[in-house]
Structure 1
Amino acid sequence: MTTTTSPLSWLDAHGSHHEIGLALGRWGADACRRHLIHSQAWAQVMEYRHHPGIPALRALLHHSFPWVEHELAGLADGLGLAHEDVFLWNCRGDLWAHAPDGCTTVLAPQRLSHNEDGDPGFTGACGLARVRPIDAPAFISFIYPGSLPGHTFAVNHAGLVITVNNIRARRADFTGLPRMVLTRALLATQTPSQAVALLQSHARMGAFHLGIGQIATACTWSVEFSQTAVSVQPVRQARRIHANHAIHEAQRTLPQVITASSAHRQARGETLLAQDAPALSILADTGDAEEPILRRSSTDTDDENTMATVDADLSGDAVRWDVYAPGARHPHYRFEGLHPLQDSRFISRG
């Protein structure tokens, strides 16, 4: 076996929520200084610095999830950036429909497989974090510099697996919680029903699609939430695929942006599902040369690239999951529950 350097770094963060945020900020500070704060996406989101609706968002966060507010404060301190700016960045998809967050998920009754797509400027700067709060379940999550965990893919100590896909909802009223706050809060829940109840019980601003599953359950769930609805569809038999636009009937009137990439990935994925292609083959597919499912082009039409792929098996008494570098045939990280199966967290086979 040949061992090389993993394209995904590893971070252990534990303690209070401010301490966890501080560790995440220090981990991502160089990448944010090098890329994020100079990006068009950052500039676009920072235009909302003085928007009159922002104080209402911050007040709702303080009232509903003060511990997430503490994580954001720690994140800003670790990054060395203004608290207001880091809060706005973590509201980016609520404020701006073209935020560079992508993703594709294949959902099966006891399996979730997912491409994590994001800003190619963060290539080589992303990682996995094992987060152990003093007052909530531990979890492992894919992380981007400058962002809260929870809006990517994650597994928590209760065996709850969540994958997240961007939905480019057009900006609504400033009357709900930011979507990344909600998905961070989901990692503290114990069951899929608790996760759904959390979404239903809070006002929401932006929109996301979630794949939700748990060990030893007969199905997974496809969940779309927006300001107007939380739609839950169990995946009991036939597999499904989800790209970056709402497709549930309950969201049919949602004002949203459907990009060419999202439309093509959805259509191509459905074709491959009909051919009974394996999930990882679907996520590695480049059969649509202009808008492939595996996205590695510098000219990607949404300015997004695949950063990692996760394949989570929920059929046993612990989550067995593999994390792959984009297009890799063998996993770079392999876990059972929250613990690596190998002595080394990194098991590249080249």
Structure 2
Amino acid sequence: MASRQGVGLFQVSGGPYDIGYRLGEIARPVFAEYMAQSRAWHAVRRWRGEPFVQTPRDAARSHYPALLAELDGMAAALGWPAEDVFLWNCRGELIHYAPDGCTTLAAVAGDQRFIAHNEDGAPFLRECCALVEVRPVGKPGLVSFCYPGSLPGHTFAASRAGIAQAINNLRIREPAAGVPRMILARVVRDAGSLDEALHLLRTVPAASGFHHTLGCAGDARLFSAEASARRCSVRSVSGLADHANHMIHPGCEAEAQIVTESSRNRQLRVDACCRRSSRQCNPLRCSTYCTIARHRACRSIATTRSIPTTKTRLPPRSSKSVTPVCR
């Protein structure tokens, strides 16, 4: 995993509330200032007390109460109301015009597989994010890029079960009663296999949607999954596949979405790069396309390159500290 600048790595463990509390402590030095200048938060907080907000909260409590407890712990450490922290982690269901963008590329060439992801965001975030190693009791655990005040798992991460996942925001116009997408993205990280991860995306009722690029150590397959409130489209990756921030799989036209100029242009740009390279695909060089196509209104927060092999998984947990490789 590589980023464009040094990013601190924090290890958190324990029960759900304890993990959330530690994540809140990590975010606390920057969170209040971040939220004060965030246009997204100014839009999201208007939903305080609205009946619709109770629907995803009830779905989260019904399906994944542990992650709701994690958010409650985070709120306690931040000194913020639990309702507000939950709202912030439902921002994808509540607002649809946030300018943030990201681009993902998946490549298969012979026995090599590759996932590259460029994470774009507000310039303020450039010094505020972290890598976190989450060690929940009874679950595989993961290493994830993490925004302050957000559940780890909705950007890019790798789990100790071997699952590698990169997420792309989708701007779904009509959210539904279901589990918030940031919680669902985190749940996928707890899967023990690709098949289990895809089963979750296909069966758990989602409130809105993400695009998931999925691979797993010990499994030769890569998948592109558009999982929204109305449908879950899964396509196997052969050669090169890319994705920005709108649905592109066949059948997506039946679901209302917002396609920003940035997302459309990035998709076209990476499509063109992939077509030129399709005959001589080298997965070890393809991450360049993600940075070329970054969101012009934002800055690259991090660029990751994940190479899930067909033979190995992440090493077992160690009590020793881990230093991330950052660029």
Name whichever of 36-45 and 80-89 sits farther off.
36-45
Q: Mark the CA change 1:218 to 1:9 in structure 2 (over 3 Å): closer, same or farther.
A: same
Q: TM-score, normalised by structure 1?
A: 0.84
Counterpart Cα distance in 2 of 1:181 and 1:269: 29
Q: Once the 2 structures are TM-superposed, how far is the Cα of residue 6 of structure 1 from its aligned partner? A: 5.1
The reply to whether residue 314 of structure 1 matches residue 317 of structure 2 is no
Per-residue deviation at 1:238?
A: 2.0
2:222 and 2:31 map into 1 onto residues whose CA distance is 35
Take 1:338 and 1:274, find their aligned partners in 2: how far apart are those partners? 39
The SS at the match of 1:37 is helix
Verify: 1:294 aligned to 2:291, yes or no: no
Q: 1:129 aligned to 2:132? A: yes
Counterpart for residue 54 of structure 2: 55
Match of 2:175 among 172, 175, 179: 172
Of the two structures, which has the highest relative contact order with CA contacts closer than 8 Å and spacing of 6 or more? 2
Contact 2:5 2:302 in 1 (8 A): no
Structure 1 residues not aligned, in runs of 5+: 286-292, 320-335
Structure 2 equivalent of residue 226 of structure 1: 228
Determine helix, strand or coil for the equivalent of 2:10: strand
How do residues 140-289 of structure 1 correspond to structure 2 at under 5 angstroms? 140-173=143-176, 175-235=177-237, 237-276=238-277, 278-285=285-292
Change in CA separation of 1:271 and 1:6 when aligned onto 2, cut-off 3 Å = closer
- Asked whether the 8 Å contact 2:56–2:207 carries over to 1, the reply is no
* Contact kept? 1:29, 1:79, Cα under 8 Å: yes
Give the conservation status (yes or no) of the 8 Å contact 2:103–2:294: no
Q: Equivalent residue of 1:182, what SS?
A: helix
Give the C-alpha shift of residue 284 in structure 1: 2.6
| 2:294 counterpart letter in structure 1 | L
- Tell me which amino acid in the other structure corresponds to 1:306: S
Provide the residue aligned with 1:34 in structure 2: 33
Matched AA of 1:256? Q
Distance 1:317 1:238 in 2: 20
How many Å apart are 1:203 and its aligned residue? 1.2
CA RMSD of aligned residues (A): 2.1
Q: Secondary structure at the match of 1:35?
A: helix
Deviation at 1:261, TM superposition (A): 0.9
1:70 and 2:48 aligned: no
Task: Please give the secondary structure, in 1, of the residue aligned with 2:205.
Answer: coil
Q: Could you tell me whether the CA contact under 8 Å between 2:226 and 2:249 is conserved in 1? A: yes
Shift of residue 202, structure 1, vs aligned partner: 1.7
Q: Is the 8 A contact 2:168 2:244 kept in 1?
A: yes
Work out whether residues 7 and 124 of structure 1, in 8 Å CA contact, stay in contact via their aligned partners in 2: no
SS in 2 for 1:247: coil
User: 5+ residue gaps in structure 2?
Assistant: none
The answer to whether the 8 Å contact 1:116/1:308 transfers is yes
* C-alpha displacement of 1:232: 0.4
**Partner SS for 1:47:** helix
Q: Is the 8 A contact 1:95 1:171 kept in 2?
A: no
- Please give the residue correspondences for 1:334-349 in structure 2 after superposition, counting only pairs within 5 Å: 337=315, 345-347=323-325
Task: Determine if contact 1:160/1:214 at 8 Å carries over to the other structure.
Answer: yes
TM-score with structure 2 length normalisation?
0.90
Higher helix share: 2
Per-residue deviation at 1:100?
4.7
* Matched residue type, 1:134: V
